[in-house]
Amino acid sequence: MTRVLLVSQYYWPESFTITAEVARLARNGFEITVLTGQPNYPAGKIFSGYSAFSIRRDRVEGIEVIRLPLFPRGQGSGLRLMLNYLSFILSGLLIAPFLLRGRRFDLVFVFGLSPLLQALPAVLLSRIKGAPLVVWVQDLWPESLAATGFIRNPSLLGIVRLLVRFIYRNCTRILVQSEAFRAPVAALSPPGATIACVPNSGQTADAATPPSESARALGDRIAQGFSIVFAGNLGHAQGLDTLLNALDTLRDLPDLQVYLVGSGALDGWLEQERQRRNLTMLHLPGRFAPADMPVILSNAAALLVSLRKEAIFGLTVPSKMQTYLSTGRPIIASLDGEGARILSEAGAGLSAPAGDPTALASALRHMASLPPTERSAMGLSGRRYFDTHFAPDRITALLSDHLTAATHPAARHQGD
């Protein structure tokens, strides 16, 4: 049995795909220990029952989970977010080696969401344990820092680039969530580095957990009229100002209702704009648990995915794309690049260029004008594409192969 140490700042009860992926890997014969932080995403507050500056050991579906102290990220504060990132990195560097003393692992594996620098403790642990390191890159650094405006100083971005180069050069194997990530990752990797694409499978709900009554009620509301649902983080990267500008021009569609199901840094701004613009068709029901999402998504006339117009986001496939495809509902995308390509290839909906409210409004009008049979055909085409390309068991098998291969001595390359 392959013993894996997973390093991920985010894990259950935070809603990320890695939790379900770890459960499937465990069923495939991997013995996994998770090193993570105290849950605080997306609201920015430590979840009830947890403590920010404590060390905690849990069992989640039989998986050992070790939680390190961290500073909660808060909402809308760049300083707090930086402290959140740095506190997990420092806990990983200073505390994790002590907590894991005497433990042996065959592999150290990083789920590389932002901050990608969370892999720095993994580099140290990989060397201490004499185990190969694999990073599954979910977000491009330093590009995403510049695109979101989190860091604009060229000198700081240069330092981050050097740290990312250091991480990649200590990897046995690098996995990327999008084919479009391959070139920018290779540019910071040593010559001959093994880089492979392993896409995400999307967020899945536990079929054994029934939805809440509030989710059922919301699903019933969504089923009325022509309802569009956006699910997930409500942050700067999602380009939601484009949606609001599009809705300003769609007041003549009486059945149009738009539900932004989630939470994030723009919660307050969205509510203010909803009232200021008198967007009565826009609803902000808040965040729901993963078990609630199927009844919400399945009742929508169509699902919306959007990102800001930035070059880096054209390389990204939002994980909600796979989740949406799995529902069998048609999709409206305000995206460039790889995400738009997948939607077109799947024949699962309509797309508009990122950051173009006129084009997004046109796509919404077009979707509203289609007969239900045509919308259903789009959704079914998307589901078939999901089954072919993103089915969870298929992705887990692919990931398992790469993790196993990385443990073989011949698979290792030496970093500079």
Q: Is 31 in a helix, a strand, or coil?
A: strand
What's the distance, CA 50 to chain centroid?
23
Neighbouring-strand partners of residue 334: 306, 352
Calculate the alpha carbon distances from 403 to 111, 139, 175, 176, 411 in Å: 12, 20, 10, 13, 10
Tens of pLDDT, residue by residue over 337-352, are: 999 999 999 999 999 9
Cα gap 257→227, rounded to integer Å: 5
Cα gap 19→34, rounded to integer Å: 10
Tens of pLDDT, residue by residue over 164-208, are: 999 999 999 999 999 999 999 999 999 999 999 999 997 766 666
- Containing 275, the helix (H) or strand (E) segment is helix 267-277
Contact criterion met (CB below 8 Å) for 299 and 227: yes
Tokens of 142: 């330093």
Instruction: Indicate if the pLDDT at residue 401 is higher than 60.
Output: yes
Tens of pLDDT, residue by residue over 86-115, are: 999 999 999 999 999 999 999 999 999 998
Tens of pLDDT, residue by residue over 226-262, are: 999 999 999 889 999 999 999 999 999 989 999 999 9
* Class level of CATH domain 2-201+391-411: alpha beta
Matching residue, tokens 């997004």: 360
Calculate the alpha carbon distances from 100 to 89, 97, 199, 207, 387 in Å: 16, 5, 30, 34, 39
Confidence (pLDDT) at 208: 66
Instruction: Indicate if the pLDDT at residue 144 is higher than 90.
Output: no
Confidence (pLDDT) at 409: 67
| Terminal-residue alpha carbon distance, the chain | 31
CA angle at 115 for the pair 168 and 237, rounded to the nearest 5° = 120
Name the residue with higher pLDDT: 193 or 148.
193
Tens of pLDDT, residue by residue over 302-314, are: 999 999 999 989 9
CATH of 213-389, one of 3.40.50.2000, 3.40.50.9100, 3.40.50.300, 3.40.50.720: 3.40.50.2000
Average confidence (pLDDT) over 364-393: 97
Dihedral over Cα of 280, 281, 282, 284: its sign: positive
Cα gap 79→272, rounded to integer Å: 24
Matching residue, tokens 């508009």: 352
Q: CATH 3.40.50.2000 region(s) of the chain?
A: 2-201+391-411, 213-389
Calculate the alpha carbon distances from 258 to 251, 255, 271, 335 in Å: 12, 10, 13, 18
Calculate the alpha carbon distances from 241 to 237, 260, 270, 310, 355 in Å: 10, 13, 9, 14, 8
- Containing 129, the helix (H) or strand (E) segment is helix 119-129
Amino acid type, 76: G
Dihedral over Cα of 207, 212, 217, 219: its sign: negative
Tokens of 30: 């991997």
Cα gap 228→242, rounded to integer Å: 15
% residues pLDDT > 90 (the chain): 87
Confidence category of residue 147, pLDDT binned at 50, 70, 90: confident
Contact criterion met (CB below 8 Å) for 332 and 349: yes
A 10 A CB-CB count for 9 gives 31
Cα gap 136→105, rounded to integer Å: 18
